[in-house]
Chain A
Amino acid sequence: MRIGVFVCQCGTNIAATVDTEAVAEAAMSMRDVYHAESIQYSCSDPGQRQVIAAAHQHRLDRVVIAACSPRMHETTFQRAVIQAGINPFMLEMVNIREQCSWIHEDREVATTKAIDLVAAGVARVRGQVPLKRGRVPVVGEALVVGGGIAGIQAALDIADAGMPVTLVEREPTIGGNMARLDKTFPTLDCSSCILTPRMVELKHHENIRLMVSSEVTAVRGYIGNFEVDIRKKATCVDEEKCTGCRICEEKCPSRAPDEFNAGVGESKAISIAFPQAVPLVAALRKEHCRQFIKGKCGVCKKVCPADAVDYEQEDELHTEKFGAIIVATGYRLFDWEGAYPDYGGGLYPDVITSLQYERMLSASGPTGGHIVRPSDGREPRDIVFLSCVGSRAESVGRPFCCNVGCMYIAKQAIQTREHLPDSRCYVFYMDVRACGKGYEEVYRRAQVEAGAVYLRGRVGKIYPRGDKLVVMGTDTLIGDQVEIETDLVVLAVGFAAAEGAGELARRLNIAYDGYQFFTESHPKLRPVETTTGGIFLAGACQGPKDIPASVAQASAAAAKAIRLLSREDLETSPMVAEVNHMRCIGCFKCAEVCPYNAIEKQKLHDGRTVAVIIESLCQGCGLCNVACPPQVISLRGYTDNQLISEVVEVLR
């Protein structure tokens, strides 16, 4: 065993507080160390060459580099030692910068500590054995969860790159929230005109399999090799047979809430959410259907000309394999009613959400594009918009900005003027955030062309006066209270994560924040990756976003997925657990604690049943190593002996 120790000066970063020469000298007297020197910049090209040359000259088989954190340059030096003909796992990095020179001032103290740490590194590398990375093949298909604009974009991008995609959507149709919008800022083009073609393209794409009314129920495996359970809920309609004629919906006697229209209007127990739905197939909601509640009805089955209705239909369970997963489950509006008693908490019919207003503006919506007061069906003249309801509101526990409210209020104010030329719009705002390309222009149009009156301040109270509503607020610019008697109030309600987002995140084993938005791996540099390899994020599920940002992120996620799927196989870390089968007693305590189900039972020739590690699944956490009663499992790279010898050295 011949170890070389290289002590980096890192210019003065280390050398200013650690006497690197002294450390190198001390290292020379450590066991099995045949060479030690101090290097000015070990990570630089000349520095690396110096290491390689010394390795050759002194016939080194193990290398210790005392420099910065291994999190910084471990791979750099692994590559260097490979060039010196040394196995990359025979390299040990000792952190004498972040955890030594940068946090101590006293040179003697820092030098002593550095020597301790180098001794520990030497002890550790002595216990190291050459390891080889494994390889696992990559399944060449992607899964996209959620079929809003983000999911649609991601699926199309991957499919266009020639790779198969499965898109799983919980609702009976794709389209997500964008399908509910009338026009879209900043250009105010019609939402369905730009969305519907993409939905249809997706449906007919040869590389895409669309599964609607479906949810992911379990996820196993790891990057390149996910195994996913998908449950397709029974909708009592045969997707192959249904022609989308909607006769069933017309004749259905059971009324049901209209979720697509955000509660404006009513729907039927069997229905198609909107005329451009994809797939254009009816779905039956059992909880509202007379056939299922009362046990008799059968109207839809009778009237269906295609014989597509099937009350006996059962949930289908599918298990599929994917190499990459893109999560694009979007958002819903924050549940404002409980949080805002001051605004009536849902008691006043003429206080509505922006999404409800959006449905009213839509020509194909429940009011046929007419703006009316839900209470009496009359056209409003005065309309008050409130921004930041459940956004930027510490008092209701929603401190973040919804990113789109300012813009869609401006959009809706412009549209209101187009629909009702005599109307007057008032907007209570905190700040108008119009930072995107072309956004400020929309805001100006709302003020100048549509004549919307912007009042800077929050609204404290809304209450009825006769058939009108009184909105009491402050105008912080003039420093006084204002009161507006109005016909309709539109609340720009903030974003919340999709229902069940946290649960899905736990199934996928990805991180999420306190509001159940999924967390990216790095806020700046890895914005579409999750902390779990092979799972990517797109759209509003990661945080409030408008359509341009959702689409951009979706394409970025698709690019990441394509990069992964285009590889034949992936390298795996060899720092995994290992069982000494001779001494395994077959208790399987290890399997109980393994978070990855990476431990299997295996029957040996001698009749004993022992634990074996599936190396491609093991992530190297070491839980089994600790749990094993006879102590016969050992985590490569972090064996008991290695850790103990480190402890012994730092305490010497």
Chain B
Amino acid sequence: MAWWWRWPTQLVMEVLHSSLPNKNAFKALIAAEYSGVKIEVVKGFQFGVSNKEPNFIKMNPIGKIPVLETPDGPVFESNSIARYVSRLMADNPLHGSSLIEYAQIEQWMDFATTEIDPYIGRWLYPRMGFFPYNAQRALSALNAHLATKTFLVGHRVTLADIVMGCNLYYGFIWIMTRNFTSEFPHVERYFWTVVNQPNFRKVIGDVKQADLIPPIPSKKAAVQPKEAKKEASKEEPKPKAVEVEEEEVPKPKPKNPLDLLSPSKMILDEWKRLYSNTKTNFREVAIKGFWDMYDPEGYSLWFCNYKYNDENTVSFVTLNKVSGFLQRMDLARKYAFGKMLVIGSEPPYKVKGLWLFRGKEIPGFVIDECYDMELYQWSKVDITDEAQKERVNAMIEDQEPFEGEALLDAKCFK
């Protein structure tokens, strides 16, 4: 990449328009610490007032903070500002040391922005009452990446860590309690490592993880997230410096009640393997094998029927609904097996399924955490009824025609 000449930074001043604390402004300020760049933060900035003034709108037409005023003109969007600041230092190690490292750095900056940030806005949790599946999915992906790494790219702090650290920061101080983050131990370890780097501490100060998830202030605020209360919620820095070395081992999560059930002779994974590996003679091998291992004391079978089939008028949207459901069932992977059939050769399509759950009832946590459950009518399979048993077989097998109709698709949860 070309290096462009400009005034040596000591001679000019970069001015940041923002209130503080603000995690998006922190990105630029931390990058500046690493890059030896001086940034002046405007004094007396009033959030909600200063950023609505005509002079501000001229710098950023959407009227959001932060904005950096450079000698060559204004720059908005916090990641771009951080990039600009780090570019003021030639060959800045924040950008890694090769083209591919730079690409990986940008990849994690974008991941932090598109996959992490949208789901940990402090308004989201209280509004929805649970961490959306998407947040957990992104954090597990990040956790997997960090399992063998101290920082996101290479062996030192890069711009990616600055952006990721700042985006995680709001999550950690507002909504992501220890109980939640302990599921992602590498993300935890990473976060504390990053925010305890001297250049981060200079800008952010002490960081304290949320003890409690804040309730929503009012219905209105719940619908229209506002940043305005930020100043009020300013964290009182508590003298609780979290040293990485002192980090206790994450507490084990409370056990899932299903793990406390008396052991069953049926091993779910064995069934899943049999199902996946049976390529021919499905009835003789897989289905027979299923009933041989089925343990009605430790498991239960359920039919489900989508309640709003008349709305299934577009095939790909119907398929998306079903794959979305299966994705959200991820949390039950250890305790469930399912088949979902999308039935009919033309709209409206019918969606029907069969599920095998550990325990004699549908697990409570599945009902509570997977909103799709209430979109279906559920009935327990009576395995003494041969007709119902045959229906189970047909569904496991993707038998076509099913109840007289063609199958548009059959999806399996295993």
Q: Do A and B bind each other?
A: no
Tell me the B residues contacting A by CB distance below 8 Å: none
Tell me the A residues contacting B by CB distance below 8 Å: none
